[in-house]
């Protein structure tokens, strides 16, 4: 009767607690780096991992620009971070990565208003279907093409403020990515189109960092792709309803909190001595081998050239020119 039921619930809770806490052998957070006088941009900074990353950078004394789509959410998060850290140098600037026009407007406003840029954290991500005003799949544009354009437009400022860093938030989902430069930006066919598109965009993130590092050699601008861990953020709010019950146990057991998800991006943004790992893929705060396609230099170069063409940057000046 009742007693067995309670016992079962108790046992389940105990197992759950052991799993949840036992599976997270997390080292204590490292000593805070000193970031006074340094400026950082965090895309998707109004929630999830982005907000957690911005909060920690602000705690370290950085000037932080939260670049996000929603004005009310962005303003509220900037206000919360200023209050929580006592750092007044936290501001919101609107950026909608689903619009290349918005990316260009953000970059020119930033370059006009902010003299410095030391850290660019390309964190924003979506897993939803749909098409943008530019005619690309929403997921691929937000996760890769918009960030690709943003990075190129801010590159000279990063170089003039070097040493500086670019952190691209990718995912282990890159393992299922397939990229065909000729159909880039168009959702793949089939039932799992949106899922495939997400994986493709994450493969693009890892390859972007790889090719960017090659092109930035000798500039003292370094870049890193990171897997943040499976984090329970808004990314999954677009999962179909019938899938949500299947996700929930996993979400509760394995998904790190946003603050823990911010740990590897923060490590790559601030840890000393990572310059020799420029272009590499990090997980659990250390460089790891990504899947074979993500190490294909010819594919990386083809992706770069196709991305330049799609965002209207062909013949853009190379770094250092």
- 156 phi, psi to nearest 5 deg: -65, -40
Report helix angle 297-310 to 146-160, nearest 10: 100
Active site residue 224: no
Where do we find the tokens 């062909």?
A: 314
Q: How far apart are CA 6 and CA 49, in angstroms?
A: 37
Cα 77–chain centre separation? 17
CA distance 261 to 112: 32
- CA 298 to the chain's CA centroid: 24
Between CA 45 and CA 75 the distance in angstroms is 10
Across 22-36, 178-192, 264-278, least confident range: 22-36
Better-predicted residue by pLDDT, 25 or 84: 84
Domain 32-311 has CATH 3.40.50.1970: no
Mean pLDDT, the chain, as a whole number? 87
Q: Give pTM, 2 decimals.
A: 0.84
Domain boundaries, given as residue ranges, for the chain: 32-311
Q: How confident is the model at residue 190 (pLDDT cuts 50, 70, 90)?
A: confident
* Residue pLDDT, tens place only, 196-224: 999 999 999 999 999 999 999 999 999 99
């Amino acid at each position: 009767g009742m007693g067995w039921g309670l016992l079962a619930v108790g046992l389940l809770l105990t197992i759950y607690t052991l799993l949840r806490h036992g599976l997270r052998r997390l080292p204590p957070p490292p000593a805070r780096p000193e970031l006074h006088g340094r400026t950082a941009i965090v895309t998707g900074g109004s929630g999830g991992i982005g907000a957690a990353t911005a909060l920690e950078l602000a705690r370290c004394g950085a000037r932080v620009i939260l670049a996000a789509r929603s004005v009310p959410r962005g303003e509220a998060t900037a206000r919360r971070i200023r209050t929580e850290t006592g750092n007044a140098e936290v501001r919101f600037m609107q950026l909608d990565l689903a619009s290349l026009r918005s990316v260009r407007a953000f970059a020119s406003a930033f370059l006009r208003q902010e003299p410095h840029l030391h850290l660019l954290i390309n964190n924003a991500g979506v897993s939803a279907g749909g098409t943008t005003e530019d005619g690309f799949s929403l997921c691929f544009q937000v996760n890769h093409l918009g960030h690709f354009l943003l990075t190129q437009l801010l590159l000279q400022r990063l170089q003039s403020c070097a040493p500086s860093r670019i952190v691209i938030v990718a995912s282990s989902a890159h393992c299922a990515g397939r990229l065909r430069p000729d159909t880039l930006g168009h959702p793949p066919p089939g039932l799992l189109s949106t899922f495939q598109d997400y994986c493709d965009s994450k493969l693009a993130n890892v390859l972007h960092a790889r090719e960017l590092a090659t092109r930035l050699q000798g500039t003292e601008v370094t870049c890193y792709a990171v897997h943040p861990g499976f984090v329970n953020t808004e990314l999954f709010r677009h999962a179909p309803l019938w899938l949500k019950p299947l996700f929930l146990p996993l979400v509760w057991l394995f998904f790190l909190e946003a603050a823990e998800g911010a740990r590897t991006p923060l490590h790559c943004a601030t840890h000393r001595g990572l310059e020799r790992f420029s272009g590499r893929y990090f997980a659990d705060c250390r460089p790891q081998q990504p899947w074979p396609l993500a190490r294909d230099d010819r594919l990386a170069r083809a992706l770069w050239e196709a991305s330049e063409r799609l965002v209207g940057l062909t013949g853009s000046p190379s770094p250092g020119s």
